[in-house]
């Protein structure tokens, strides 16, 4: 069983969904955590829940807009001040944008999705990788999506940014693998997070369970994934045991992306 004793991991988008699930998984394995999110209230709730479940966990919280490079540099610096090193980085924060046809997509919102989903990942890599390179060790997991390995209608900005995250991951893996810094990405499908629940509400505001059940029937496993299932993959990719998996974009979708 992998352990994270004395290992420090930064998680962006840590207040809920995939970020919080990863924080719970890593806390159970003894990691020191730097939890980063834009939503201060939700971040405090996440911190409180983690301390109840894992009272021995060492953690800090940093409220930050990850689309602002200065804010990214600040959360990196605060992590170093608290724990003196960064062993793992879960580059997770992101937004969906809107469900709109490509030619009708609001350009200001398109740029916002780029800022949060893509530039934030680059800023994180820009400020974390040199520290890991100096240590001679690091594990990075960027969050793409199945939208980063295939097209989805009415999600042009999301699909474009997630494809770009997959590309950044491959470049980082090639450039810094020799320095002991291993970089991979995950590509979750429909996972029961607040973001996906919002998608189901958008499809059927009166009964979001209807599209949820329909989506499950389209999956080879006939169900929607759970955040904790993604967290277990993330924990492996952030661990010392992940020593020869590098530059991969790993689908976590029950096999659905293989069908079309």
Other C-beta atoms closer than 10 Å to the C-beta of 30 total 15
The alpha carbon dihedral of 153, 185, 34, 241 has a sign of: positive
Cβ atoms of 31 and 201 within 8 Å: the answer is no
Residue 193: predicted pLDDT: 83
Q: Return the SS3 of 192.
A: coil
CA 31 to CA 25: how far, in whole Å?
Answer: 9
Name 102's Cβ contacts closer than 8 Å, sequence gap at least 6.
Answer: 154, 156
What is the β-pairing status of strands 181-188 and 59-63?
Answer: unpaired
Catalytic residue among 54, 90, 105, 158: 158
Q: Is 137 one of the annotated active-site residues of the chain?
A: no
Q: Is the pTM of this model over 0.75?
A: yes
Asked whether 176 and 240 are in contact (CB, 8 A), the reply is no
Q: Are 42 and 16 in contact (CB under 8 A)?
A: yes
Nearest by Cα to 180 from 143, 142, 237, 139? 139
3-state secondary structure of 58: coil
Residue-level pLDDT at 260: 57
Comparing CA positions, the residue from 139, 154, 4, 125 lying closest to residue 66 is: 125
Residue 207, pLDDT score: 86
pLDDT of residue 135: 96
Q: What is the pLDDT of residue 163?
A: 98
Task: Collapse the DSSP code of 241 into the 3-class scheme (helix H, G, I; strand E, B; otherwise coil) and give the result.
Answer: coil
Which residue segments constitute the domains of the chain, with CATH numbers given? 8-189+226-252 (3.40.50.720), 191-224 (no CATH)
- Per-residue pLDDT tens digits of the chain, which is 260 residues long: 468 999 999 999 999 999 999 999 999 999 999 999 999 999 999 999 999 999 999 999 999 999 999 999 999 999 999 999 999 999 999 999 998 999 999 999 999 999 999 999 999 999 999 999 999 999 999 999 998 998 889 899 999 999 999 999 999 999 999 999 999 999 999 898 887 787 788 788 888 788 788 888 888 999 999 999 999 999 999 999 999 999 999 999 999 888 75
Helix/strand/coil for 2: coil
Which residues on neighbouring strands pair with residue 48, listed in sequence order? none
**pLDDT for the residue numbered 212:** 80
Rg (CA), the chain: 18
Count Cβ atoms below 10 Å from residue 92 Cβ, excluding itself: 29
């Amino acid at each position: 069983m992998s352990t994270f004793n004395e290992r420090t991991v930064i998680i962006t988008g840590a207040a809920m969904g995939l970020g919080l699930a990863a924080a719970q998984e890593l806390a159970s394995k003894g990691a020191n955590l730097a939890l980063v999110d834009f939503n201060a209230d939700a971040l405090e709730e996440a911190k409180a829940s983690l301390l109840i479940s894992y009272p021995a966990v060492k953690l800090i919280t940093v409220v930050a807009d990850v689309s602002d490079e200065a804010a990214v540099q600040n959360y990196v610096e605060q992590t170093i001040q608290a724990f003196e090193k960064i062993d793992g980085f879960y580059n997770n924060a992101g937004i969906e944008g809107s469900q709109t046809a490509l030619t009708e997509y609001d350009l200001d919102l398109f740029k916002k999705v780029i800022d949060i989903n893509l530039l934030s990942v680059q800023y994180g890599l820009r400020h974390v990788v040199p520290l890991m390179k100096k240590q001679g060790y690091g594990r990075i997991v960027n969050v793409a999506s199945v939208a980063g390995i295939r097209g989805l209608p009415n999600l042009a900005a999301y699909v474009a940014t997630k494809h770009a995250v997959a590309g950044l991951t491959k470049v980082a893996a090639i450039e810094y693998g020799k320095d002991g810094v291993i970089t991979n990405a995950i590509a979750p499908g429909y996972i029961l997070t607040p973001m996906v629940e919002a998608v189901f509400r958008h499809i059927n505001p009166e009964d979001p369970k209807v599209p949820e059940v329909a989506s499950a029937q389209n999956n080879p496993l006939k169900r929607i994934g759970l955040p904790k299932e993604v967290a277990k993959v993330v924990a492996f990719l952030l661990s010392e045991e992940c020593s020869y998996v590098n530059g991969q974009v790993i689908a976590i979708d029950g096999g659905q992306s293989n069908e079309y």
